Amino acid sequence: MKQLKIAIFCSGGFSTSLIGAKMQKVYDAEKKDVKVDAYDFGMVDEVGDDVDVILLAPQIGWAFDQTKEGHPNTKVILLTMQQFGSMDGQVLVDVLKEKGID
C-alpha cells in the first residue's frame, strides 16, 4: 500500500509544525503509513504536486482557490479556525477521515 503524504501549510510554518507533529503521532499510534509535513505557504508550489493532501490553515484561506487550481490532482482542504485552533492532531485526523482520506 502506498504511503499517504499530507502537507499542512500556514503563513509561517511554525504553528503547522506543532499540529503536524501531533497528527503524525496519531497516525503512528494507529500504525498507518502516513507522512505529515508542515511548511510555510511559500513552499506550496514546490511541494503540492508531490503529496496526496494539502491542508491549509485558516489564516491562509484566501489561497484556497488558487491552491486548488495550481494542484488539480491533489486534494486541498481548508481547515476551519475551530479545527486548526484545537491544536489536536486527532481532530484533524478525524476531519480527513470524514472526507474519506484514511
pLDDT at 60: 94
* Packing angle, helices 14-29 and 89-98, rounded to 10: 70
pLDDT at 102: 83
pLDDT at 25: 97
Q: Given a cut of 90, is residue 1 above it in pLDDT?
A: no
Which DSSP state fits 69?
A: H
CA distance 21 to 5: 13
Which DSSP state fits 57?
A: -
Model confidence pLDDT, tens digit, residues 33-88: 999 999 999 999 999 999 999 999 999 999 999 999 999 999 999 999 999 999 99
Long-range (24+ apart) CB contacts under 8 A made by 48-51 are 48/7, 48/74, 49/73, 49/74, 50/5, 51/5, 51/6, 51/7
